[in-house]
């Protein structure tokens, strides 16, 4: 009787402990993940690995305003802060150990929106905040710390028609200059990098020139050259990186002709913006890439949302390629409802972390969702799961051995 009770207890414990991790890697999984949020809607847009090996995530809080969440290396929340109103689209850790966030703030009296930048110390306490914009709509999507200790912010400006807007500020948030780039139609900048020569590269979508638009400037924001990519397809871009060879890689969305479906898009250019190759990844439905990193092996990883391979209403999708853009593997993560990955980082152990929103898990209508994987995109077991697994497995082995010994002795 005691053996039977021990067996049942161990079995139940084993099932309870391991159940959240059972499933196909390329299907819905409860995995090494953490959710953060209240009872309303919280959406994460930017993720980074912090200098202490943890993570910081920024986005939109249902309680109103920028939301910054600081976690340890296992995703356990250490602290969180909210600032102002509006949505944080971009987050960086600054050279002094603090953080800077950029997005937009809404002025409800006029319905105008301005670039909004918040600078904090290492504990998330606000040091200063600034707004930049005109009478109508100015929304920031990307922020970098510049080599002179200041910051540059990119997004769009305009009401019915938009232009790329690049704003350069000093370390205290004082504007040094701003520049606009665009044509007769709408042009929206989503991603910004500082280039090795001290200038900037900005990528986004252009309706003026029909396609994906890459703009290269000098250190003062004067345009040096620009390139448009489309090749008969509708291409949108959301993420830009400087590659190890001095060129650029751009990730976004491709939809050919009048097709309803869309695919992940990856473009590689040389240092002058001349296209070297492009690749698409996807299925029969809509797949949108929002974040890109060049990986330590010289390849690329892209993250976003898939409808082609989801098990709900859209899942996180992670695609890994070699240096030429050939797919090596892909993974989906999600539940029965909506999941969208907005930001991706490679971690020092060779694995990946993805952040975005989930409506399948968590407490609210949508929550921040942080997913940590190994180098093959396989969800990792958090440290607290290992000991219970070892204990329950050992108990099961001992019990089965005892029962077998009794049967053999009869």
Tell me how far apart the 2 most distant CA atoms of the chain are, in Å. Answer: 91
Of 43-47, 111-115, 164-168, 389-393, the one with minimum mean pLDDT is 389-393
Question: Do 201 and 242 touch, CB atoms closer than 8 A?
Answer: yes
d(CA 68, CA 41): 15
d(CA 65, CA 60): 6
CA distances from 184 to 61, 161, 196, 209, 383 (A): 35, 8, 31, 9, 55
Share of the chain above pLDDT 70, in %: 83
Residues 365 and 408 in one domain: no
Residues 306 and 354 in one domain: yes
For position 402, what pLDDT does the model report? Answer: 65
Residues 88 and 99 in one domain: yes
pLDDT in tens, 236-282: 899 999 999 999 999 999 987 555 689 999 999 999 999 999 999 99
Residues 309 and 390 in one domain: no
d(CA 310, CA 330): 12
For position 234, what pLDDT does the model report? Answer: 80
Residues 53 and 168 in one domain: yes
| Count of domains for the chain | 2
Flag whether the pTM goes above 0.85: yes
CA distances from 374 to 197, 347, 349, 379 (A): 35, 9, 8, 6
Residues 48 and 18 in one domain: no
Q: What is the CATH number of the domain that holds 329?
A: 2.120.10.30
Residues 231 and 346 in one domain: yes
pLDDT in tens, 282-291: 999 999 999 9
Residues 120 and 19 in one domain: no
Residues 316 and 368 in one domain: yes
Q: Choose between 405 and 223: higher pLDDT.
A: 223
Residues 344 and 229 in one domain: yes
The range of the structural domain enclosing residue 168 comes to 32-383
Eight-state DSSP code of residue 62: T
Residues 314 and 388 in one domain: no
Three-state SS at 355: strand
Residues 379 and 391 in one domain: no
Of 117-131, 151-165, 324-338, 386-400, the one with minimum mean pLDDT is 386-400
d(CA 343, CA 78): 20
d(CA 180, CA 138): 11
pLDDT in tens, 345-390: 999 999 999 999 999 999 999 999 999 999 999 976 544 444 454 4
């Amino acid at each position: 009787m005691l053996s039977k009770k021990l067996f049942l207890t161990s079995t139940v414990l084993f099932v309870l402990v391991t159940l959240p991790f059972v499933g196909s890697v390329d299907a819905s999984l409860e995995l090494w993940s953490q959710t953060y949020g209240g009872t309303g809607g919280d959406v994460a847009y930017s993720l980074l690995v912090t200098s202490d090996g943890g993570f910081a995530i920024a986005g939109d809080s249902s309680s109103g305003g920028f939301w910054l969440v600081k976690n340890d290396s296992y995703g356990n929340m250490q602290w969180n802060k909210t600032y102002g109103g509006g949505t944080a689209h971009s987050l960086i850790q600054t050279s002094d150990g603090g953080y800077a966030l950029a997005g937009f703030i809404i002025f409800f009296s006029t319905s105008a929106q301005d670039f909004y930048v918040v600078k904090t110390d290492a504990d998330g306490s606000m040091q200063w905040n600034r707004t930049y914009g005109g009478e109508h709509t100015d929304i920031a999507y990307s922020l970098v710390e510049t080599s002179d200790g200041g910051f540059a912010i990119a997004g769009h400006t305009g009401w019915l028609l938009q232009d790329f807007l690049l704003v350069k500020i000093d370390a205290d948030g004082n504007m040094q200059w701003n520049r606009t780039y665009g044509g007769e139609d709408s042009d929206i900048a989503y991603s910004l990098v500082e280039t090795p020569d001290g200038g900037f590269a900005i990528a986004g979508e252009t309706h003026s020139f029909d396609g994906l638009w890459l703009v290269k400037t000098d250190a003062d924001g004067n345009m040096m050259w620009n390139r448009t990519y489309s090749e008969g397809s509708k291409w949108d871009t959301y993420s830009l990186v400087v590659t190890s060879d001095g060129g650029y890689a751009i990730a976004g969305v491709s939809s050919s002709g009048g097709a309803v479906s869309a695919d992940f898009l990856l473009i590689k250019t040389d240092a002058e913006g001349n296209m070297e190759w492009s690749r698409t990844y996807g299925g029969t439905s809509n797949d949108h890439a929002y974040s890109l990193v060049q990986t330590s092996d010289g390849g690329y990883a892209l993250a976003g949302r898939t409808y082609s391979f989801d098990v709900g209403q859209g899942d996180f999708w992670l695609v890994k390629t070699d240096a030429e853009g050939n797919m090596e593997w892909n993974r989906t993560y999600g539940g029965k409802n909506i999941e969208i990955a907005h930001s991706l980082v490679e971690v020092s152990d060779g694995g990946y972390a993805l952040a975005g929103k989930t409506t399948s898990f968590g407490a609210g209508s949508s929550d921040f969702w942080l997913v940590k994987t190994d180098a093959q995109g396989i969800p990792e077991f958090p440290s607290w799961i290992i000991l219970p697994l070892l204990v329950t497995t050992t108990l099961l082995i001992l019990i089965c051995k005892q029962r077998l010994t009794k049967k053999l002795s009869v």
